[in-house]
Amino acid sequence: MSVNLQTPIDYLKGVGPNRADLLRSELGIQTYQDLINLFPNRYIDRTKYYKINELQRNNAEVQIIGVITGFREVAQKRGKRLVADFKDDTGMMELVWFRGQKWIRESLKIGQPYLIFGKTNWFSGKYSMPHPEIELQSEHDGNLRSAMQAIYPSTEKLSNKGVTNKVVTKIMQQLFLETKGRFVETLSDSIKGELKLISKSDALFNVHFPKTIELLAKAQFRLKFEELFYIQLQLILKNLIHKSKIKGFPFNKVGDYFNTFYKDHLPFELTNAQKRVLKEIRQDLGSNAQMNRLLQGDVGSGKTIVAFMSILMGLDNGFQCCLLAPTAILSVQHYNGLKELCKPLDISISLLMGSSKTSERKIIHENLENGNLQILVGTHALLEDKVKFKNLGLAIIDEQHRFGVAQRSKLWHKNTSPPHVLVMTATPIPRTLAMSVYGDLDISVIDELPAGRKPIKTVHRFDNNRLKVFKFMKDEIALGRQIYIVYPLIQENEKMDYKDLMDGYESVSREFPMPEYQISIVHGKMKPADKEYEMQRFVKGETNIMVATTVIEVGVNVPNASVMIIESAERFGLSQLHQLRGRVGRGAEQSYCILMTSHKLSQNSKTRLETMVRSSDGFEIAEVDLKLRGPGDIMGTQQSGVLNLKIADIIKDKDILQEARYYAKSVLKLDPSLVLPEHKEILETYRQMSKYRNIWNYIS
């Protein structure tokens, strides 16, 4: 009979109520199952035994066999420490205890061979080892042998209460004894065969008690693969179920709007990437399923035209469409841009924002409901319940990261049946992360910039070079170009940040006096109308310089602006820097981005600045960002499983992730309901995983 792995951990021999409470509260271990999935953080090579004369002054963790020749108590500032002289046939060292001295003194015997393990210190001409792990050599020889010793995650409380790594290892051994180390297989024979994976039981044994380094590597690979495989399987299944259950409005025909625009009014040749993405969208819209697609494209890659042409597909099939943007500025900009494109086609379009007047709103509401209005552009105001469409067929969301999932779902309730949804983001998400976080969305990528764009030259300058920067600005203005100067603004530091902004504005005003120069200033404390006025002055080319906080981060399009100066650049995150830089380089002229900082820079800031200077590839920058910050800070990850990974690491194990996704796809392609006998392990694991909401809650 096999042991039920859902048994509470209290029942495991050697655990008992106190340790069980500690394991629960400190490590979240409730059951046998949880314990077996407590994967080691790292391993120590315990095949090597050191001699005392081989020790080096590097604080390494070592194991040594020797005997205790005597004990001493040494007085110190507070209390005393217990010191044992320890010797082997090559030399002497000291073992030191600051706590638990009485017990140690009584339990250790002089003259018996012991194995000690721990970190060595070099202090006043001698090696010492504080609080060594220590056991009789005879006992050590009788233990489960493994080449590498697992070091488990721990907490201060656990070690203070005596639940040391040694104790956890003992408990783990007990678990393997009780279960005989036999665990139900969770992957199919064919996957194991193709990837030469070791069995589940072998993997679990070797991840805890590696027999060899090679077997440890195999065990880790197998468990990481499995973890990522089931996450992918779940995401892809969700997507498949969504597609089969939720009927979308089929946009069957390509009609006059689209064709006329394509033939007569397209302002430029589409890039191949734009064409490809349009084809992908067209396919979704023409199928019977509801589209749920993420469109990624670096700043300036031309997402707007793709959005507009998707809207035309909707209009051609008699549906209304809407475009949602995160800020008023961006909504206005989209509205103005789309209105131009709509003009020759005689399409009706309106703008709705929080600040829209009641009278305007009334007209919009009416025309939305009677179907006279074809396109609605706006901010969150568009999500309010009183905004009702006659037949909303497609909703496009720009800059996805500002909208939560809950808001996205609000769109669904604007209709009897949910509209197609296209989410556009300019914050490139590393492909690997996108796969895990948005694995349930379909993804399109515009990975090509329109031809003729000159790469933006990016430099890093220290504050004391400001005069040279001013000179450079004057030269550019003389050439007729415009310049952004951006200051950081974060809530916690708002007062100081506004002061910096105002000081900066003053010094720029002194250096660039009126009437020769005109300067706009835009920040969050201004009234929306004033902000808009200043913005428009810059857009129209009436001002040479725009001094601003990050309000201009998203979307603003002024092709004549050729210089982006970012003040205190060390305080911005990488994706923000990249977004800001994307405000320039939109015209035919050579553009520049100047990152200004003080001399005091952390290692992390240096890496960010160097990355910006070196690369203009949003995906590469996103990868570095992910490495620097970890997935926890990246938008969207909170809702996904990537943060709860137990053994895989989406950054380090991205190759395994690719492989796992490939296999999950192939399995589901062959057998979408997992009914084939060869997939019985997969089906069973998937079922259990859904039950326990986590794959690691299920093994047996």
Tokens of 654: 């991205």
**129 near 95, Cβ under 8 Å?**
yes
Q: Does 165 help bind ligand ADP (rule: CB under 6 A)? A: no
- Between CA 298 and CA 625 the distance in angstroms is 15
Q: Does 303 help bind ligand ADP (rule: CB under 6 A)? A: yes
Find residue 378's DSSP bridge partners: 324, 352
- Nearest CB to ligand ADP, comparing residues 426 and 682: 426
Amino acid type, 684: E
- Contacting range for ligand ADP; rule: CB under 6 A; set: 207-215, 293-301, 564-572, 665-673: 293-301
Find residue 293's DSSP bridge partners: 422, 442
Q: Which of 301, 350, 436, 637 binds ligand ADP (CB under 6 A)?
A: 301
CB of 341 to ligand ADP, least distance (A): 10
Q: Does 304 help bind ligand ADP (rule: CB under 6 A)? A: yes
Q: Does 679 help bind ligand ADP (rule: CB under 6 A)? A: no
DSSP 8-state assignment for residue 31: B
- Nearest CB to ligand ADP, comparing residues 427 and 520: 427
Element (H, E) at 481: none
Query: Contacts with ligand ADP: how many residues (CB under 6 A)?
Result: 18
Q: Does 661 help bind ligand ADP (rule: CB under 6 A)? A: no
- Between CA 487 and CA 508 the distance in angstroms is 13
Nearest 10 degrees: Cα torsion 689, 693, 695, 700: -50
CB of 589 to ligand ADP, least distance (A): 13
- Nearest CB to ligand ADP, comparing residues 301 and 374: 301
CB of 556 to ligand ADP, least distance (A): 10
Q: Does 450 help bind ligand ADP (rule: CB under 6 A)? A: yes
Q: Does 426 help bind ligand ADP (rule: CB under 6 A)? A: yes
- Nearest CB to ligand ADP, comparing residues 345 and 645: 345
CB of 394 to ligand ADP, least distance (A): 17
- Closest-by-Cβ residue to ligand ADP is 302
CB of 298 to ligand ADP, least distance (A): 7
Q: Which of 278, 305, 373, 441 binds ligand ADP (CB under 6 A)?
A: 305
* Omega before residue 515 within 30° of 0, cis: yes
Q: Does 531 help bind ligand ADP (rule: CB under 6 A)? A: no
- Between CA 220 and CA 209 the distance in angstroms is 12
Q: Which of 40, 132, 210, 300 binds ligand ADP (CB under 6 A)?
A: 300
The radius of gyration of the chain's CA atoms, rounded to the nearest angstrom, is 32
**166 near 118, Cβ under 8 Å?**
no
Q: Where are the beta strands (DSSP E) in 552-649?
A: 561-566, 592-597
Pairing of strands 113-119, 133-136: antiparallel
- Contacting range for ligand ADP; rule: CB under 6 A; set: 96-104, 178-186, 299-307, 645-653: 299-307
- Contacting range for ligand ADP; rule: CB under 6 A; set: 46-54, 294-302, 511-519, 523-531: 294-302
CB of 396 to ligand ADP, least distance (A): 11
Q: Does 299 help bind ligand ADP (rule: CB under 6 A)? A: yes
- Between CA 689 and CA 698 the distance in angstroms is 6
Q: Does 428 help bind ligand ADP (rule: CB under 6 A)? A: no
Q: Does 557 help bind ligand ADP (rule: CB under 6 A)? A: yes
Tokens of 351: 């703008």
Q: Is 91 exposed, middle or buried (0-12, 13-18, 19+ CB in 10 A)?
A: middle
Distances (CA, A) of 612 to 566, 587, 687: 12, 20, 46
Residues that bind ligand ADP (CB under 6 A): 268-271, 274, 297, 299-305, 426, 450, 557, 559, 586
